[in-house]
Amino acid sequence: MQLALAQGTERPKVARRTMVLFCGDHGVTEEGVSAFPKAVTGQMVANFLKGGAAINVLCKQVGMEKLIVDCGVDGVPVAGTVDRWLGRGTANFVKGPAMSGGQVERALENGAALAQGLDCDVAAVGEMGIGNTTAASALLCAYCGVAAEEAVGAGTGLDEAGMRRKAEVVGRGLVRHAGVTDAMGILGAFAGFEMATMAGFFLGAAERGLPVVVDGFIASAAALAARAIDRRVMPYLVFSHVSAERPHRRLLAELGVRPVLDLDLRLGEGSGAALAIPVLEAAVALYEGMATFGEAGVG
């Protein structure tokens, strides 16, 4: 029903699907919030392009096209990606806004234009960006009033001490931007370029009637930002799964949504969104092909 309403038809389709991976670096990694260095973002983008990552395998498995979008990986724009580059990663949000107002606007415009230009029945989104679970935690706190200690998880593999440090960094960021209360301002204060571009993608998809399958914690935080900007985006978003990242379940509860899967995934990359595609496909197949009781002579 959600797919039919989003597409504006009694016969929804999911045959043509595209995975869009948004990539960018984060200045908050200066604070030691990740188990991996910032350079891993660019290395993983290269791996996506070579076809060696988990999401490459999953997209091939479920028959999805892929777009790798460089929203702001540290370095020059990467050949082979869709170039929506806004800079060499965001600024450290503990010291100031992660991005300028102009960068927020361009990121949203870039994402909306991507969604408007896709030729598919359903899109799915994933991300790559060392430090982006910290940014997602900060967005959850700022938009929903969640305490920093409740909003952080292990990310790429932090231990308990690492999570305490991460919560302290998020807390300092919240104090630094305590006077920022509008949706766009909060997005600019904390988000990564990839997250802001993804939020724009959600808004653009809703405008054209394109359903989008949302991946894990980071993508859900981008959806939280998109909802804060325009609540009409929500009927177009299908939330694929609840991840093992501790605050993701709380974020989904704040959004008031029920995810398709609950498998304790923590990879990211759009992996959960790819795994949810066959469930959507099955739902449409049942709707199209299953006989009613009347047609089957039952009852």
What amino acid positions are annotated as catalytic residues? 269
Q: How far is CA 97 from the centre of its chain?
A: 20
DSSP state of 258: -
Could you tell me where the beta strands, DSSP code E, fall in 39-192? 65-72, 82-83, 122-128
144 sits in which H/E element:
helix 132-144
Burial class (CB in 10 A: 0-12, 13-18, 19+), 134: buried
Q: Are 84 and 168 in contact (CB under 8 A)?
A: no
Q: Find, among 24, 41, 128, 127, the residue nearest to 83 by Cα.
A: 24
- Please tell me the total number of residues recorded for the chain in this structure: 299
Task: Report the distance separating Cα 197 and Cα 105, nearest Å.
Answer: 9
- Distance CA(98)–CA(221), nearest Å, equals 15
Find, among 229, 235, 236, the residue nearest to 199 by Cα. 229
Rounded Cα distance, 220 and 42, in Å = 23
Q: Which two tokens stand for residue 247?
A: 């605050």
Measured CA to CA, the distance from residue 296 to residue 299 in angstroms comes to 9
* DSSP assigned state of 99: S
Query: Which two tokens mark 165?
Result: 């440090």
Q: Work out the angle at residue 167's Cα, subtended by the Cα atoms of residues 174 and 240, and round it to the nearest 5 degrees.
A: 95
